Amino acid sequence: MEPFKLIRVHDNQAAIRTALMAGSRFIAGGTNLIDLMKLHIETPKQVVDINKLPFSGIEELPDGGLRIGALVKNSDLAYHPVVIKKYPVLSEALLSGASPQLRNMASVGGNLMQRTRCPYFYNTDFACNKRNPGSGCAALTGYNRMNAVLGTSDHCIATHPSDMCVALAALDATIHVQGTKGSRLIPFGEFHRLPGQTPHVEHSLLPGELITHVDIPGMSYSYRSHYLKVRDRASYEFALTSAAVLLDIRGGRIQKADIALGGVGTKPWRAVPAEKVLNGASADLQTYRAAAEAALSQAKSYKDNAYKIELAKRTLVRALTTAAAIS
């Protein structure tokens, strides 16, 4: 780890001003940043501790939605009674991630900002365009069993690691940020960037911008939701594939479906083609299978990860079947 200066701030504007200085990084729980600093992947000159800022609350909104502070711990959000009752897909996603110890430290804002766990990103002996732009992507020809099949490019096939973000993608969340020019809203689907030719540009934040909270809209059917994660072991493991699903079913037909996939995309992957198949269709196994085929129709496999395409289809079918059975 390189030497750095720790700065504790107590108000938003101080945090933003300090973050504008070259080589600055915000820190809350530090469950990802500290690892990256130890490996010399992140080498900030100063680390800005934002834990004293007023973003640790969870409150219900007038429209029936939920406002979640950026500093809310993952465990607190997962066990919040409103989340468990109204947004089980989010609670399930959070509880499937990391370990209890890490969930007790990790923040919502940090979860949004966490970086890929691609082994070539973490090993500085290998080329990685995310870590060192223009150096190449060792995963393209290396061992890529855990890498993405959706949203990839010739410059990067790293998988986005978050479970929480997959649920928030399906929930149509909105991210609130503050910066030197004031506050703005970022629709969740526009926050994370596809790699394209610039895989090191991972999000839509401007320099110095600070995530303050996340809003989830009120949905009358959000209780009928489910997060399913398939992984190599039962805990403390990243997804091979995952699916976050919400279904509005009336009279045996799907009025509205919201679907996102994890473990297969370079960002939390909103499965719009699957939603189009589901919306207005009968709530049955044949429909779910057709939706799964649509969801993975644009997938591109590499040497070691072709299995993910079929596994993702089966994951989505099972998640849809489970959610549909909720009354």
Task: Show the tokens assigned to 295.
Answer: 């969801």
- Could you tell me the strand order of the sheet in which 174-179 lies? 58-60, 66-69, 210-216, 174-179, 182-187
Question: What are the tens digits of pLDDT across the range 137-179?
Answer: 999 999 999 999 999 999 999 999 999 999 999 999 999 999 9
- Could you give the C-alpha distances from 214 to 5, 52, 58, 151, 276, in angstroms and in order? 29, 18, 10, 24, 26
Selected from 1.20.1260.10, 3.40.50.150, 3.40.630.30, 3.30.43.10, the CATH number assigned to the domain covering 1-53 reads 3.30.43.10
Q: Residue 217, Cβ neighbours under 10 Å: how many?
A: 14
Is there a common fold for 1-53 and 225-324? Answer: no
Q: Residue 108, Cβ neighbours under 10 Å: how many?
A: 28
Question: What percent of the chain has a predicted confidence (pLDDT) above 90?
Answer: 100
| Domains of the chain, residue spans | 1-53, 225-324
Selected from 1.10.10.60, 3.30.390.50, 3.40.50.720, 3.90.180.10, the CATH number assigned to the domain covering 225-324 reads 3.30.390.50
Across 269-276, average pLDDT: 98
* Model pLDDT, residue 215: 98
Q: What is the pTM of this model?
A: 0.98
* Model pLDDT, residue 18: 96
| Closest C-alpha to 240, from 145, 142, 132 | 145
* Model pLDDT, residue 194: 98
